[in-house]
Amino acid sequence: MSLLASARRASLVAASAASAAPTRRSLSSAAAADALVRPQLQLYGLHARYANALFSAASKAGSLARVEKDLRQVQSWIETNGRFREFLKNPVVKRDEKKATLAKISKGMEPVTREFLAVLAEKSRLGETVKVLSTFAKIMDAERGVVKCTVTSVEKLDENQLRAVKSEVSAAFLQKGQTLDVKVQEDPAILGGLQVQVGDKFIDLSVASKINDLHKALSVPASQ
């Protein structure tokens, strides 16, 4: 089943569902044939619908790894090529022109990837490409048991400090079979301490945060 069909099944293009089927089928048989392969991580909203449909189509085609590689290439184009970024977002460029251009530059990629880009162009969603790709990456991380973690400090952590942070975060947040993928960054604005982002959880142990808390406490009028 193609990505376009999966996307229709996910209510992305419900209005044109009938025209996608090569032959006429009953609603029940179409629903059974078009059933999505659901990822372990359940996300919702517009970007998740496209990402879920892409995951389902790639899973059925046995090409998840290759599609993921294609999407990294698309992400690289977005990050390094300003003209490509503008092309995706530009509402003046006609859909057919965008589809033709994407078909040309994605030649050699997986059929699922090419159809995914065509669907985004057809539905005028190319401006959402970055967010869809980000959502798909989260789904793939969950499939592998990878948990993303960002650690922010004033200056670079030494090996012992980083090892201690990883150990504490792993003990507090990881479940059996999961692995931690840590990104370390520096930000002098936090003054000292650490800020740790693990998935959707944020832990602020920075000096700047403590100073802010103290300021708020001192700003509260004394009780009468």
Give the alpha-carbon dihedral of 106, 110, 115, 116, to 10 degrees: -90
Residue 79: HSE in the Cβ half-sphere, 13 Å Cα cutoff: 9
Q: For residue 116, is it within any domain?
A: yes
Using a 10 angstrom Cβ sphere, with 0-12 exposed, 13-18 middle and 19 or more buried, the burial of residue 58 is: buried
Are 132 and 151 within one domain? no
Strands 193-198 and 146-153: antiparallel
Q: What's the CA gap between 210 and 190, in Å, rounded?
A: 10
Range(s) of the domain holding residue 77: 3-142
- Prediction pTM value: 0.70
Domain edge (last residue) among 100, 123, 142:
142
Domain closes at, from 98, 127, 142: 142
Q: What is the pLDDT of residue 2?
A: 53
Q: Which residues of the chain have pLDDT under 50?
A: 1, 4, 7-8, 10-33, 224
Does residue 118 lie in a domain region?
yes
Please state the domain count of the chain: 2
Among the three residues 142, 165, 192, which one is the final residue of a domain in this structure?
142
**pLDDT of res. 220:** 63
pLDDT of residue 20: 38
| Pair 157, 106 in one domain | no
Q: Provide the H-helix boundaries in 10-106.
A: 17-20, 27-33, 46-61, 64-80, 82-89, 95-105
Q: What is the CATH number of the domain that holds 18?
A: 1.10.520.20
pLDDT in tens, 16-25: 333 333 333 3
In a domain? residue 224: no
Q: Say yes or no: 136 and 35 in one domain.
A: yes
